Structure 1
Amino acid sequence: MAENQGEVKLLGVGESPFVCRVVIALKLKGIEYEFIEENLGNKSDLLLKYNPIHKKVPVLVHNEKPVSESLVIVEYIDEAFKGNPILPTEPYQRALARFWSKFIDEKIVPAVRKAVFTLDEVEREKGIEESLEALQFLENELKSKFFGGDEIGFLDIAATIIAYWVPIFQEVTGLQIFTSDKFPKLYNWSQELINHPIIKESLPPREPLLAFFKGRIEALSASK
């Protein structure tokens, strides 16, 4: 346990890439925490108490103080606990890491969602196009083994959804958005990332995730 870490709880669901970001940050820092599994179909009083505004996971509770939104939580963890810095120390690099992480959540995630979970063919094609365009920007931004250099950093954590979840979406739907042919640098980065010991132990098991998203796609198709 990290020295003087206090009481740390994480409210989340196992299949969420946003919850996984927080798990990675906690493990990188060596923080012990209690994981409280939420049922988003029947939200607990605890979740409504700690995140009354968005009523969403993840929520980190440190000494009874709640912090919400995955990227905000990762920054909080970096500042609240010593050792293994996650954000770059140089101000411009910090700003870039924040910018590209926001880009993932505001551009890549919505585009991929549209491509994977939209039944309308025109909208789906639009989602695929937007995903490819956005991923190309990220491909051009990758200059080393990880976005954080030789070590995993803030942007790598933010981009775990691309490395691990997008290939699962592809397997479920048959889409080919993120491939080694289209994005060689990003693809190599994704393999390095998901095979890193700390990331590996932080990721939810693949088979249940596949089954979960297969179920979601089938339910969508049935509601057509």
Structure 2
Amino acid sequence: MEGAAPKTPAQPAVKLIGWLSPYVHRAEVALRLKGVPYEFIEDDMGHKSGLLLAHNPVHRKVPVLLHGDRSIPESLVIIEYVDEAFTGPPLLPADPLARANARFWARFVDDKLWKALWVALWAEAGEARAREAKESLALLEAQLPEGSRFFGGDAIGLLDIAASGVALWLPVFQEMAGVTLLAEDEHPALCRWAREYATHDTVRQCTPERGRMLAFLTPKRGMFVSTAKAMAAQM
């Protein structure tokens, strides 16, 4: 029709395959911070769907982001893809060195911190393992800029999202295991950051209710113990 504005091409639909997991939370909060509408497809990790296996045949794990005909697995990769593919507040710093540091410490969370925490929580490995876990928490805490709410400053960024399990899931695991690794007297700045993160409006929109987390995780305690013992044997 004459005078009508040209139609804007529809954006490819965004879907997220996941379940109740700190890694899936990473992808969800990244999408929400960027203002990206998405459909959540809950999968059953005990009986993995054909959709999941088709889109992540290598690791066969969640989360997997579906963006049109593209599939992006792995939570940290998804965060960076979302940051680059969509408009909205940046999740990584503009400065190349700051970006590199954020990536380094995000990998530290996955490759070192969580392994140390997991063994200290579940393997009954003694004081030495607890000390190692607390030292790793202290290394992460040292990355918090003085006077800032988050690792990236006053806005949530990549490292905050990568470390979100410390804020949201670690307290639940500590309650289940009867072990305290993150405490106000030893890591005051990290505890303050955890409260800031957990109470952020966008984060709360995709944070599972604590009772649901406990109900979901408690039956898996035996599996947690066995995986922690296997990790301890390799450390």
Q: Tell me if TM exceeds 0.5.
A: yes
Structure 1 unaligned segments of length 5 or more: list them. Answer: none
* AA in 1 matched with 2:116: A
1:7 aligns to what?
13
* AA in 2 matched with 1:63: G
How far does residue 219 in structure 1 lie from its aligned partner after superposition? Answer: 6.6
Give the alignment's Cα RMSD to 1 decimal.
1.9
Q: In the alignment, is the contact (CA less than 8 A) between 1:12 and 1:19 conserved in 2?
A: yes
The answer to whether the aligner puts 1:32 opposite 2:34 as a matched pair is: no
2:232 aligns to what?
none
* C-alpha distance in 2 between matches for 1:109 and 1:5: 36
Cα distance 1:90–1:129, how it changes in 2: closer, same or farther (>3 A)?
same
* AA in 1 matched with 2:47: N
2:152 aligns to what?
148
Deviations 1:129-173 (A, max 9, x none): 321111010111111210010111110011100011111111111
> What stretches of structure 1 move > 6 A for 4+ residues in a row?
219-222
The answer to whether the aligner puts 1:161 opposite 2:165 as a matched pair is: yes
Partner of 1:168, secondary structure, is: helix
Pairwise mapping of residues 14-163 of structure 1 onto structure 2 (< 5 A)?
A: 14=20, 16-118=21-123, 121-122=124-125, 125-143=127-145, 144-163=148-167
- How many percent identity over aligned positions? 46
The answer to whether the aligner puts 1:214 opposite 2:218 as a matched pair is: yes
- Count residues with an aligned counterpart: 217
Structure 2 unaligned segments of length 5 or more: list them. Answer: 1-8, 227-235
How far does residue 199 in structure 1 lie from its aligned partner after superposition? Answer: 0.6
Deviations 1:94-117 (A, max 9, x none): 001000000000011111121223
* C-alpha distance in 1 between matches for 2:22 and 2:191: 18
How far does residue 175 in structure 1 lie from its aligned partner after superposition? Answer: 0.5
Normalised to the residue count of structure 1, the TM-score between the two structures is: 0.91
Q: In the alignment, is the contact (CA less than 8 A) between 1:163 and 1:194 conserved in 2?
A: yes
Partner of 1:36, secondary structure, is: strand
* C-alpha distance in 1 between matches for 2:184 and 2:10: 44
* C-alpha distance in 2 between matches for 1:171 and 1:94: 34
* AA in 1 matched with 2:198: I
* C-alpha distance in 2 between matches for 1:127 and 1:65: 41
How far does residue 214 in structure 1 lie from its aligned partner after superposition? Answer: 2.0
Between structure 1 and structure 2, the one with the greater Rg is 2
